[in-house]
Structure 1
Amino acid sequence: MTDVVVIGAGMAGLVCAQQLTQAGYGVRVVEKSRGLGGRVATRRLQGTCADHGTCYLKPEGELLGRFVELLGDRQILKVWTDKVDQLTANGTIERSPSLSPRYVAPEGMSAIAKFLAQGLDILLNQRVVAITATPENSWRLTLESSDEEITAQALVVAIPAPQAFMLLAPLGESLLDAEFIRCLGSVEFSPCISAIAGYPPTSSPLPQWLALTFTDHTEIAWIGFDSSKRLHPQQPHFVLQSNANFAKLHLETEDLQPVGQYLWQRAAQTLSLPWLDSPNWLQVHRWRYAFPTIPWNETVLAAKTPLPLVCCGDWCGGNLVEGAMVSGLAAATAINQQLHNLALPNVNFFNFFTQ
């Protein structure tokens, strides 16, 4: 038995777990993937790394601003660029008129999650396949690849709402109120396909831009010169992200390599950079739940049940990293109020990392 189980080691789940751990609760985080961070993700490949999820941080609120400042002091983040240019429908590149620093991690954006995970009890590669309530008034979690079952007094579900719905709906209205299930099922996401491509060191001409958004393109939404983030890049590599309409066409495509090759062919044509069509290597990733299109309008979604159960994530109020962090803090507060009402750290819980 532990006090709290957090399902999901994305930004919301890690912030919630860190807050509750610092307050004195026993917390265990369960994550189905091999790595931390959710969509703050980095792929290790070909002797380098590439950010195929969240490409940079652009702090606008106080919470993320202070977090970025802390990570900058620790040499985890640096300024990458202060503008993202735009490719218009007629094929011209418009320079961004506004300047706002974008921060990246030279070791990969997943370094942010690894920093947040310090001191936490985290089970990786463990998918929760069933949740039940025990006669002893606790939650029991069944794991897919283990005979172990985890029991906890409280549960935080910090994964995309459609995944949370599939996991929680079987509990039924006898345990979860109908309004909670309805609200959870109302959240919708758009998908995205990310394609990472590496090229020979002699490739030229290299683009003048570091990041480029596309206006009204039929397939492509964004391209980043990802190797420019690295301290000592050995060869140029780029990350391309499709738009939602294109990704929807390939949600169930088993082999994504031809899909990625097609995207880079289109990028080569659109940008008049023929060598983009012939990468040395290519990896493609499907984000089924990339961006919330119909989010929940509050910072958490809590069930009205005797056993504490709270859902959180970037789909609670918005789709930014900052929204996920705010939601994680709110989830910790909601769980604490239903348990022992301990003294939670100040909202600036980053004090923990400066000790």
Structure 2
Amino acid sequence: MTNIGIVGAGTAASATATVLDRTVPEAGVTILEKSGGLCGRAATRRRGDVTYDYGANYVKADDERVVELLTETLETDGLVDVTEPIWTFDRDGNVSPGRDADAHKWSYRRGLTQIAKRLLGGTDVTVHRRTRVERIVHDGETWWLTDADGGEWGPFDVLVLNPPAPQTAALLADADWDHHLRDDLATAAAEVPYRTIWTAVLGYGFELEAPYYALVNPGKDHEIGWIAREECKPGHVPDGESVLVVQASHEWSVEHYDAPPAENVATLASTTADVIGDQRLADPAWTDHQGWRYALPEGRAPAGPLESAEEHDLYFVGDWVVGEGRLHAAVRNGLETGERLVNSL
């Protein structure tokens, strides 16, 4: 039996694992995920009756294959579409209509983590959560993994890596793999540029009246890059309440990443109130926060080393592989990588 190890349970890895399970059911597929959840930055939290996507915001309808997956292949129960438009704001906080090119902006009533849960649901894929992989070993024939607690996993005939490029680069740099390609791969992954995003979630006991779902700063010249209203997603926020997901700009996020979270939240709440023009927003009833050090790739790794790695049964998946920090791109990459892997077996 072919054993396949996957590091990370992000969207792309979940898509790859699903392809493997459905087309090569005799293969054993094991996912090791460092966190307690699934779907990577397509992350969802719940607070009482409130559900909010605090990483990625939605899935765009920009890929026919992904659209078919969401609307036909997977269960569509609970799939919701945000119909309100996206408006813009400039460096001075002036809000303007426009920039709503998305045909659909999909999430689920239970949040975007449903993508991975539905992809993996019904498969025989084994997922071990809270298992942080710290070392990769190749013994000349197979792959082995060591976790942070000293546990060993393997042997794997094929290894798939899904962490963000900088974390993948660190794993490769320390890998016990006596091959010149190791350094080429580590360098290629390390050179992928990333945007850092510090996110504040702001909850209110009143419903904000606004004609838009979200505001975006396309010039990337404001302290805030994105403000989204979770109440526009059916099933996420009870009537009469509002929840804003506020993503700071890359520059602000880097500068304040290690600052006290309460200070960051207070600053972003005050700035959000100024942009939207409602000072009530400076005093949220409750808050949450999350720092995403490696949020969005702003480039892609060169294809050459990644393609060469597949000759050694080593595969890479994720938005940094295709150079587009979008959920639909990650899903598509995972599906296509899974198919290439199947063809190689």
TM norm structure 2: 0.88
Q: Hey, what's the Cα distance between the residues in 2 that align with 1:78 and 1:71?
A: 16
Look up the match of 1:328. Answer: 334
Q: 1:39 aligns with which of 41, 62, 72?
A: 41
Look up the match of 2:253. Answer: 247
Structure 1 residue 28: Cα displacement = 0.6
Residues 1:332 and 1:71: Cα distance change in structure 2 (over 3 Å): closer
Q: Hey, what's the Cα distance between the residues in 2 that align with 1:39 and 1:190?
A: 13
Look up the match of 2:223. Answer: 219
Please say if residues 172 and 185 of structure 2, whose CA atoms lie closer than 8 Å, have aligned partners that are also in contact: no
Look up the match of 1:78. Answer: 80
Query: Structure 1 vs Structure 2: percent identity of aligned residues?
Result: 25
Please say if residues 226 and 239 of structure 1, whose CA atoms lie closer than 8 Å, have aligned partners that are also in contact: yes
Residues 1:144 and 1:57: Cα distance change in structure 2 (over 3 Å): same
Look up the match of 1:13. Answer: 13
Q: Hey, what's the Cα distance between the residues in 1 that align with 2:310 and 2:91?
A: 51
Q: Which amino acid is the alignment partner of residue 151 of structure 1?
A: P
1:134 maps to 2:139: yes
Other structure's SS at 1:81 match: coil
Alignment of 1:1-355 (within 5 A): 3-24=3-24, 25-70=27-72, 74-81=76-83, 83-96=85-98, 98=100, 100-118=103-121, 119=123, 120-134=125-139, 137-145=141-149, 147-171=151-175, 174-177=178-181, 178-201=183-206, 206-216=209-219, 217-231=221-235, 233=238, 235-253=241-259, 255-296=260-301, 298=303, 301-304=306-309, 307-317=312-322, 318-338=324-344, 340=345
Structure 1 residue 290: Cα displacement = 0.8
Residues 1:275 and 1:46: Cα distance change in structure 2 (over 3 Å): farther
Q: Hey, what's the Cα distance between the residues in 2 that align with 1:224 and 1:324?
A: 22
Other structure's SS at 1:301 match: helix
Q: After alignment, is 42-51 or 64-73 more displaced?
A: 64-73
Structure 1 residue 82: Cα displacement = 5.2
Q: Which amino acid is the alignment partner of residue 175 of structure 2?
A: L
Q: Hey, what's the Cα distance between the residues in 2 that align with 1:306 and 1:104?
A: 37
Structure 1 residue 18: Cα displacement = 0.9
Look up the match of 1:351. Answer: none
Q: Which amino acid is the alignment partner of residue 55 of structure 2?
A: G
- Structure 1 unpaired stretches of 5+: 341-355
Q: Hey, what's the Cα distance between the residues in 2 that align with 1:222 and 1:75?
A: 28
Q: Hey, what's the Cα distance between the residues in 2 that align with 1:162 and 1:69?
A: 33
Q: Hey, what's the Cα distance between the residues in 2 that align with 1:89 and 1:213?
A: 11
Q: Which amino acid is the alignment partner of residue 222 of structure 1?
A: W
Residues 1:29 and 1:59: Cα distance change in structure 2 (over 3 Å): same
Other structure's SS at 1:12 match: helix
Q: Which amino acid is the alignment partner of residue 65 of structure 2?
A: L
Structure 1 residue 97: Cα displacement = 6.2
Q: Which amino acid is the alignment partner of residue 18 of structure 1?
A: T
Structure 1 residue 49: Cα displacement = 1.5
Please say if residues 133 and 140 of structure 1, whose CA atoms lie closer than 8 Å, have aligned partners that are also in contact: yes
Structure 1 residue 292: Cα displacement = 0.5
Q: Hey, what's the Cα distance between the residues in 2 that align with 1:176 and 1:304?
A: 11
Q: Hey, what's the Cα distance between the residues in 1 that align with 2:83 and 2:177?
A: 50
Q: Hey, what's the Cα distance between the residues in 2 that align with 1:284 and 1:2?
A: 41
Q: How many residues align?
A: 335
TM norm structure 1: 0.86
Q: After alignment, is 22-31 or 88-97 more displaced?
A: 88-97
Q: Hey, what's the Cα distance between the residues in 2 that align with 1:300 and 1:334?
A: 16
Other structure's SS at 2:43 match: coil
Look up the match of 1:352. Answer: none
Other structure's SS at 1:155 match: strand
Please say if residues 15 and 116 of structure 1, whose CA atoms lie closer than 8 Å, have aligned partners that are also in contact: yes
Q: CA RMSD in A?
A: 2.5
Structure 1 residue 22: Cα displacement = 1.5
Look up the match of 1:345. Answer: none
Residues 1:236 and 1:305: Cα distance change in structure 2 (over 3 Å): closer
Residues 1:93 and 1:141: Cα distance change in structure 2 (over 3 Å): same
